[in-house]
Amino acid sequence: MEKIKVFLVDDHQIILDGVKNMIIDEADIEFCGFASNALTALKMIETLTPDVVISDISMPEMTGTELTKILNEKNTDIRILILSMYTTDDCILNAIKSGAKGILPKQDTNKDMLLEAIRTIFHGGEYYAPSISRKILNTFITNVKKGYSTDNHKQYTLTNREKEILKLYVEGNSNQEVARALNISIRTVETHKNNIMQKFHFKSTVEMVKFALKNNLVKL
């Protein structure tokens, strides 16, 4: 079995210990190390070559957003998962722009959510906690109301099932929540999602949601 090598970056020992305890006994995940600041993390990551880096945003000397940007510029194979108390619109936007593949709020994240996020981004997807997805959605809706136009001259075709799944993503649901709502497996959800993204050449879930709203692909 291919193991997902995970590295943690946080300046609070209680968070490092807590996250480590959540993942260390998983058969498909290998805890490969941790650092209490981003500068130390950069040196260790180069040697340990993790698959997924879980990082806080607010840290001394270098932020998690800056760390994410550097890692993405140096090694596009590393996926960054932001785990932070700071989830303002600006923090979310900057994390996404820097190349983070997932964002979780410390105050709302449980073990199941953390493990799903790790596995999702390792396999090429993106993962945003429902509260984060709602913030992204609300920000985009506000921008739409301020003047985004729709591309009515284009024709977009989705199956009924794809429309159902897309609507649930637009509403801020995770893979697991979409599967539960439609009574199908997570693998089936991911297959439909990949089909949607391939049809429209989306590069991320955020891009898919924004496009769906802008072009009225779903009705809320």
**What does the alpha-carbon distance between residue 138 and residue 77 come to, in Å, rounded to a whole number?**
31
Instruction: Kindly list the structural domains of the chain, giving each domain's residue range(s) and its CATH number in brackets, ordered by start.
Output: 4-128 (3.40.50.2300), 136-214 (1.10.10.10)
- 72, with CB counted inside 10 A (0-12, 13-18, 19+), is middle
pTM: 0.66
Q: What are phi and psi of 182, to 5 degrees?
A: -100, 0
Quote the pLDDT of residue 199: 80
Cβ pair 103, 85 in contact under 8 A = no
Quote the pLDDT of residue 145: 62
> pLDDT per position in the chain (220 positions), as tens?
689 999 999 999 999 999 999 998 999 999 999 999 999 999 999 999 999 999 999 888 889 999 999 998 887 689 999 999 888 888 888 898 899 999 999 988 999 999 999 999 999 889 998 888 887 777 766 666 655 444 443 445 788 888 899 999 888 888 899 999 999 998 889 888 888 888 888 888 888 888 888 777 776 6
Which two tokens mark 166? 């897309």
Residue whose entry in the numeric block shows the structure tokens 């073990």: 111
Amino acid of residue 68: T
Which two tokens mark 87? 């989830």
